[in-house]
Chain A
Amino acid sequence: MSLAIRTSGLTKTYGEHRALDNVDLEVEEGSIFGFLGPNGAGKTTLLRMLTGLARPTSGGVQILGRDVTAVDDSIRARIGFLPDVPGFYDWMTAEEFLRFVGRLFAIDRRTLDERVGMLLGLAGLTDVTTAIGGYSRGMKQRLGVAQALINAPQLLLLDEPTSALDPMGRRDVLEMLSSLRGRTTVFFSTHILADVERVCDTVAILDHGRVVAHGPIQELTSRYAERKVILEVTDAAGGLAEDISREPWATSVAVGPTGALEITVTDMDAARRAIPVLVANRHTGLCRMDAGELGLEDVFVSLVGGGTR
């Protein structure tokens, strides 16, 4: 397995605050990797270290097989990067900015002409001739994605690439990222779970600077789905929830929006045997009982607590 990104024991502290705490990540070449976390989890800090904008307090970072402290222009020439709030020269037009970035990569004129035309189209800015200073946040975000692609990068690092986009813009960017699968390694941070579910192969969930889950999306959802039981009864759901919450194998019981009980369990076999007994003891009817199908959102909420940051 060839790795585009590898971090080991990566830690970053600002005074007493640990922005990243012993982060181990492996991102395969050619994959689309979603880096999920609530605001303030440390996503941007990690991207700053991947791009060499900040230095680790301890631990190591490798990009395209090279230690990040030894990353030079030849490695940067193979990377595309979009920061969370991209800063542009407001007096330039979109085309001028893309040409400027292309010249930084020393792209020859003919290739640059082709790419600028194609990327302006992708960003929906082909006919926009005004200076960037007058752009909306969405237009700037689309231009930011376009500039990150100007060098046809081998590794694309994107910090919240869809956060400022409308639904159509989001769809276009996600489709574009999806089209890069297998050719370019895409690593993008986001707190929009639907985006990750839509395009990513693999995901890592970050909370308070620590990676709390890491793996293929299906593996994560199935791993956590095995621990959840959905239960529908004809009546007396409240009393049954109290009975279940007293059981040693039940870690939480919640009433879902449809009235079904969502039970998180530590021992599925024990739960399967005990739940029908508890239902019978309540003299209520059992409509449905099954292991719940968890989405990434459920995994995310269960892992990071779902609190507002």
Chain B
Amino acid sequence: MRGFAAFARKEVLEIVRTWRLWVLPGIVLFFALTGPVMARFTPEILRAVASDQLGQFTLPDPTYADAYTGWIKNLSQIVLFALIIVYGGIVSSERRSGTAVLVLTKPVSRGAFILAKATVHSAFLAMLVVAGTLVTWGGTAIVFGEAPGGALWSASLAWLVFGILFVALMTLLSVVISPTAGAAGAGLGAYALVSIAALWTPLGTYSPAALTGVPTSLALGKSVETFWPVCTALLLAAALVALAVAAFRRKEL
């Protein structure tokens, strides 16, 4: 696929040289650093500020599992929402600025253009999740004195698959919806639909919708079905990128 490597290199440089280096990594690292500390001291803070309202209810002592579930919760909500907003313009911003016209009148296929973006940004997300998980793991070990790796890593990697699915979805939405806010809104709507779909047991067990809950279960050390949700999510991500390529080929620039 001619032009893929050169364009992918540009995408990497663009991450390193622009605001993209700070927004998602900043959010991920902030929660990775503060998550274990918050998990450790949240019960004490609650006791200090609301002991009279707690009555006979006793807060359990915090464990490493609280840090893990906190990390996964932040990934599933704040990081995912930021990802949807940041990638709302992943393709349309290049169309608006005119850079897509300059690139696509060179020997670069529209397929290479889309695939390079989806690949580089999925890899970028993977690096962020790995870095954030490492920080959470280390922080949890320091704060709680124990941090079993299996639960945290399996949970983080399961969420990473969900994140990659949303990178693919936003690539498609950014092709078909020109305004960044419109694509981001559609992405948030898709997340809401997926969350609702997960309530139906078959979808909540075997489809990508299961990945809204699977990472938390894995973080708690529970045994849950991961093969089908991961496989279907990766297949759906590939299908979404293929759809994005097909839609982009039909677009006039």
Which residues of A line the B interface, CB within 8 A?
48, 51-55, 73-74, 76-77, 79, 81, 83, 85-89, 91-92, 100-101, 103-106, 147
A-B contact count (CB 8 A): 70
Among B42-50, B95-103, B201-209, B227-235, the one that faces the other chain is B95-103
Contact B252 A53 (CB under 8 A): yes
Q: Is the CB of B6 within 8 A of A100?
A: yes
| With A91-B14, A91-B17 as contacts: A83 and B107 at CB distance below 8 Å | no
Distance between Cα atoms of A74 and B94 in the complex (Å): 24
Interface pairs (20), CB distance under 8 Å: A48-B252, A48-B253, A53-B101, A54-B253, A73-B108, A79-B105, A81-B102, A83-B98, A83-B101, A88-B99, A89-B10, A89-B14, A89-B99, A92-B13, A101-B102, A103-B9, A104-B103, A104-B108, A105-B106, A147-B102
Q: Which A residues are in CB contact (< 8 Å) with B107?
A: 73-74, 76-77, 104-106
Decide if B18 is an interface residue (CB 8 Å cutoff): yes
Within 8 A of A (CB), among B107-148: 107-109
Q: Does B62 contact A (CB under 8 A)?
A: no
Distance to closest chain A CB from B111 (angstroms) = 11
Least CB distance from A248 to B in Å reads: 49
Q: 6 additional contacts, CB 8 Å, given A87-B98, A87-B99, A106-B2?
A: A73-B109, A76-B105, A86-B98, A92-B13, A100-B9, A147-B102
The yes or no answer to B71 lying at the interface (CB within 8 A) is no
Complex contacts, A74 vs chain B, CB 8 Å = 107
Secondary structure class of chain A's binding surface, majority of residues: loop
Given A54-B252, A100-B10, A103-B9; A73-B2 close (CB under 8 Å): yes
Q: Is B7 an interface residue (CB 8 A)?
A: yes
State A248–B40 Cα separation when bound (angstroms).
Answer: 101
B104 CB–A CB distance under 8 Å = yes
Residue contact B253 to A104, C-beta cutoff 8 Å:
no
Query: Contact at A104–B6, with CB atoms within 8 Å?
Result: yes
| Bound Cα distance from A119 to B94, whole angstroms | 25
B221 contacts A by Cβ under 8 Å: no
Across the interface, which residues of B come within 8 angstroms of A83, CB to CB? 98, 101-102, 105
Chain B residues touching A, majority SS: helix
Determine if B25 is an interface residue (Cβ-Cβ < 8 Å): no
User: Does B179 touch A at the CB level, under 8 Å?
Assistant: no
B17 contact set on A, CB distance < 8 A = 91
* A54–B109 alpha-carbon span in the complex (Å): 15
A97 to chain B, nearest CB (A): 9
B3 within 8 A of A: yes
* Cβ contacts under 8 Å, A89 to chain B: 10, 14, 99
**A79 and B94 alpha carbons, distance in the complex (Å):** 21
**Complex formed: what's the CA distance from A105 to B105 in Å?**
11
Most buried by A among B6, B9, B105, B252: B105
- Are B106 and A101 neighbours in the complex by a CB distance under 8 Å? yes
Residues of B contacting A77 in the complex (Cβ-Cβ under 8 angstroms): 106-107
| Residues of A contacting B6 in the complex (Cβ-Cβ under 8 angstroms) | 100, 103-104, 106
B9 closest partner in A (C-beta): A103
Contacts of A48 in B (CB 8 A): 252-253
Q: Which residue of B7, B94, B98, B104 is within 8 Å of A85 (Cβ)?
A: B98
Query: Considering the chains assembled together, what is the distance between the CA atoms of A51 and B98 in angstroms?
Result: 14
- Within the complex, the shortest CB–CB distance from B227 to chain A, in Å, comes to 39
B18 nearest CB neighbor, chain A only = A91
Q: Are B106 and A76 in contact (CB under 8 A)?
A: yes
**Cβ A73 vs Cβ B253 within 8 A:** no
Distance, CA A55 to CA B253, complexed state (A): 10
Task: Give the residues from 159 to 180 in chain B that come closer than 8 angstroms, CB to CB, to chain A.
Answer: none
B97–A87 touching, CB < 8 Å: yes
A92 to B104, CA, bound (A): 18
User: What residues on A are CB-neighbors of B103 within 8 Å?
Assistant: 104
| Chain B: minimal CB distance from A213 (Å) | 28
Q: How far apart are the CA atoms of A77 and B3 in the complex, in Å?
A: 11
Instruction: Specify which chain B residues have a CB less than 8 angstroms from the CB of A54 in the assembled complex.
Output: 252-253
Restricting to B1-44, which residues have a CB under 8 Å from any CB of A? 2-3, 5-7, 9-10, 13-14, 17-18
Residues from chain B with a CB closer than 8 A to the CB of A86 are 98, 102
